[in-house]
A and B are shown apart, each in its own frame.
Chain A
Amino acid sequence: MGRNAAAVLASIVGLVMVLTAFARPLEFLGTAVVDWFNVLAAIAFVLGGANLLKMNLLKISARDAGWGYSAVTVSVFLITIGVGLLKVGAHPDPLHPDVALSGDKEAVGGAFWWLYEYAMSPITSTLFALLAFYVASAAFRAFRAKNTAAILLLGTAFVVLLGRVYVGVLLTSWIPADNAWVSWLRLENLSGIIMGVFNNAGTRAMMIGIAIGIAATSLKILVGLDRSYLGSSD
């Protein structure tokens, strides 16, 4: 019963969204549903935060292995929430200086800005930078030029990488740049051709395929054929 009602709800709001794209007078309905969607998405962040708190507090109370790290996570999470909600260190909006919480939460110099600038941003970008080593190491171990497809993949990656660094440009700098018949052989131009022609064609075809796939999946949800998002009925 509950699953059927939920599937009907999904169909109704989905069809409203489709309808508003074709019937301009109903645009206000689409705007309202998108607003509700955004509010729900924001509440989902609150749910995520509450779940993080719950799981880590359970780990701390059970003194599980690594509970100290959970304590760090909980402390930092609560500090971030506290300074963010109270806008600690952020000055009010100059147009409304009498309203203490009217300022920008991410104003330079505020505690929330500090946490983003000196904790979140450097750690996340270093984590992503770390992948440079692992991608290179994995590629070195896994890539083998065994057939045409593998040779194309390896060769393209090599040309694109070399075409965007000084040493790559230097390697083919002896090819005259002003002769249009041969200048395309310079690595920086070859890299541009790969990106503009072959990569463009492949990406375009993939986007067409993905769009058809998403449209088909959306249609299955809208007519209630696909209910996998509701989980099993057990």
Chain B
Amino acid sequence: MSQLNAPLHDPAVERRANRMMVVILAIACGLLALRALIGSSIGSGADAVTEHGFGMVYVQESPKGFVSEVAKDRAADGTEVEVRTWKPAAPGQTPEISWTEWNEVTAGEWAAAQRARADAPASAPLVTVSWPRTAGVWFAALMTLAVLSFLWRDNPVYKLAESVVVGVSAGYWMIVATWDTLVPKLAGALVPAWTKAHLMPSLESAGVDWWGLVPLGLGMLLLCRLSARVSWLGIFPLAFVVGTFAGLRFVQNIESDLLAQVATMFEPLVVVKHQALAGADAAATPPIDWAGSIGASLSAVLILVGVLSVLAYFFFSLEHTGAVGGAARVGIWYLMITFGASFGFTVMGRIALLAARLEFLFDDWLWLIDPSGKH
């Protein structure tokens, strides 16, 4: 072990490794500059242009305008109220509220739009480079390389990417929880009118629901865990969560996992399959598909044997000797095959993810490949 670690602590080896990394980075930067210099041919035919860059995202403007209509309606108590509804502004109509949306287009569409705008500037929609999205592609590419740099060893660039993802993930899930749950279920219950007017106009509410104070109170107790002095109060919301989850899972697990899985075991063990007869007389009995029948029957028997033997292995109230021991041994074999299949599947999933990241680097960023015809 000490022999294995020794070279890593050797300052000379460390310096050599650092120098090697600097050389690799310099070569990579040189290749990127060369890539930009060579450029890419975008578009086809008369629209074709050479773009000296890569990793760019193009967008097309899509202006949106809205006008309102006021209609009279009757409230629940019978009084007459004014209801304002909004609809898209018709061509030529001056919108009361407007904004511009930017939809992503391919580089080829951008090249064609440049030509169209040169011919008729007034009618063609604006298609341009989206600098925020282009910066995003570059940031994502650099972060991908930063994470992959961990294959060399733990380094500051990897740590930076790690810090970024921790901050973004925590913030992301907090915001999702706020907008998807806290706003409709807590604010919507306690201050429905304000929530509807300022945050969620589509909220359906029948008035203030004072029961919303229960999760609010428990939530405040949960936040007490941040202070050492009153953190013990946090056991009440914790008990609530654990109790609710235990009650939910008790019923759901028995219903969907235990009973449903046992129910699937009650299948015929002897399966007879018939061969399909194309264009034959409907009254004629097709011949038996012996290979298919034996295969299906064997599968059914193997599944039944497998489930019973693995359950025998899990059953510890009987000593694993004799017939029970034999069944348990077969159970272990089945489990090993299951774990092997899961392992193979996991590795395949990770390799697929790696392939997707490499495709992003070579397609979206470097524009060296173009499997989906984006540029």
Contacts and interface: CB of A to CB of B under 8 A. Distances in A.
B130 to A, nearest CB: 8
B337 interface: yes
Contact of B336 (A102, A149, A207): A149
A210 B253 CA distance: 9
A157 B338 CA distance: 9
Contact of A197 (B150, B257, B303, B343): B303
Contact of B345 (A13, A70, A102, A160): A160
A78 B246 CA distance: 35
Nearest to B169: A120
B310 interface: yes
Contacts of B357: 122, 125-126, 129
A85 B162 CA distance: 23
Interface in B86-107: 86, 88, 97, 99, 101-102, 104
Contacts of A185: none
Contacts of A177: none
B238 interface: yes
A127 B175 contact: no
Given A80-B167, A222-B247, 14 more contacts: A2-B236, A14-B250, A36-B218, A41-B177, A42-B178, A42-B182, A43-B182, A91-B99, A105-B176, A128-B350, A135-B343, A153-B336, A211-B261, A221-B242
A174 interface: no
Q: Which of B186, B247, B348 has the most CB of A within 10 A?
A: B247
B43 interface: no
A11 B243 contact: yes
B166 A43 contact: no
Contacts, number: 433
Given A40-B218, A42-B178, A208-B257, A35 B185 contact: yes
Contacts of A25: none
B307 A208 contact: yes
A43 B178 CA distance: 8
B66 interface: yes
A129 B350 contact: yes
Interface string B136-148: 1101110110011
Interface in B135-182: 136-137, 139-141, 143-144, 147-148, 150-151, 159-182
Q: Closest 6 CB pairs between A and B?
A: A201-B306, A80-B171, A17-B247, A156-B340, A202-B338, A10-B243
Contacts of A52: 166-167, 170
A58 to B, nearest CB: 12
Task: Determine the interface band of chain B, counting residues with CB < 8 A from chain A.
Answer: 35 or more
Given A128-B350, A152-B333, A161-B348, A10 B240 contact: yes
Interface string B288-300: 0101100100010
Nearest to B312: A205
Interface residues of A, number: 138
Given A40-B219, A156-B341, A211-B253, A14 B143 contact: no
29 contacts: A3-B235, A5-B236, A6-B236, A7-B239, A14-B243, A40-B241, A43-B222, A46-B182, A48-B170, A48-B174, A69-B160, A72-B160, A76-B163, A84-B175, A91-B99, A105-B176, A116-B168, A123-B144, A129-B350, A130-B354, A132-B353, A136-B347, A181-B291, A194-B341, A197-B306, A199-B341, A209-B311, A214-B249, A222-B250
B173 A45 contact: yes
Contacts of B346: 135
Interface string A142-155: 00000011101111
Given A125-B353, A149-B332, A201-B334, A76 B168 contact: yes
Contacts of A222: 243, 246-247, 250
